Amino acid sequence: MAAIKAKPFAFPAKTDELALIVIDMQRDFAEPGGFGASLGNDVSRITKIVPDVKRLIEGFRGAGLPVIHTMECHKPDLSDLPPAKRDRGNPVLRIGDEGPMGRILISGEPGTAILSELAPVDGEIVIEKPGKGAFYATELGDVLKERGIKQLVFAGVTTEVCVQTTMREANDRGYECLLAEEATESYFPEFKAAAIAMIRAQGGIVGWTARIDDILEGIARV
């Protein structure tokens, strides 16, 4: 075991139980013409964290620790897209519509892909998820159980939506969760700050948060 410097207190990392989960670093959330942009968001906030996410992924790969990637997306026939999700808000393009990068958030479309700089390598797990949380209607829980993973370091977007939802799902299922502060982002800086504060409040009610350097230093010792 190696303690990673974290808030609200050190994270007790265990070599054989730890994995990195990178949430939804997809073109649809990071590039003009995608889902995030269609909702009126400034997607450049997301591309700015790519070097930090990459550094974290490479640290886990270098330490021989598992890296899991998630992608928010739906079946081409939209059978896993409830109208309550498709019809929400007033986007220029809705999920399933044809956009400049193919159909928005549909499995296999170019815009749904993970950003090339962060693409999974052979052997890494990729979870396609129809919800905001990565446990809902996916194989994630089984995959973690099979591999004996009980601790998750989180990166990805957006902090207060898919990252925080998945952290809460994981926390309720008994996983120890640590959020890498510079490797996550929101379209709204105040929401990122609030999510980080919420996660580690009340003695780490949802989990821990830590700087990437401290995580990398910690996993080098596990």
Q: Residues with Cβ < 8 Å from 28, sequence gap 6 or more?
A: 34, 35, 36, 72, 101, 104, 105, 111, 112
**Which of 37, 53, 57, 162 touches ligand C5J (CB under 6 A)?**
162
Binding of ligand C5J by 73 (CB under 6 A)? no
Q: Helices marked H in the chain — which ranges?
A: 27-30, 35-38, 44-47, 50-62, 83-86, 140-147, 164-172, 189-204, 212-221
**Considering only CA atoms, which of 180, 176, 172 is closest in space to residue 209?**
180
Number of residues that bind ligand C5J (CB under 6 A): 8
For residues 52 and 183, the answer to whether their CB atoms sit within 8 Å is yes
Q: Which is nearer to ligand C5J, 44 or 62 (CB)?
A: 44
**Which of 161, 180, 210, 215 touches ligand C5J (CB under 6 A)?**
161
Q: Which is nearer to ligand C5J, 158 or 209 (CB)?
A: 158
Identify the bridge partners of residue 166 per DSSP, sorted by sequence position: none
For residues 3 and 222, the answer to whether their CB atoms sit within 8 Å is no
Contact window for ligand C5J (CB under 6 A) among 5-13, 110-118, 154-162, 190-198: 154-162
Kindly list the catalytic residues.
24, 129, 162
By CB under 6 A, the residues from 77 to 116 that bind ligand C5J are none
Binding of ligand C5J by 140 (CB under 6 A)? no
Binding of ligand C5J by 157 (CB under 6 A)? yes
Binding of ligand C5J by 24 (CB under 6 A)? yes
Footprint of ligand C5J (CB under 6 A): 24, 29, 72, 132, 157-158, 161-162
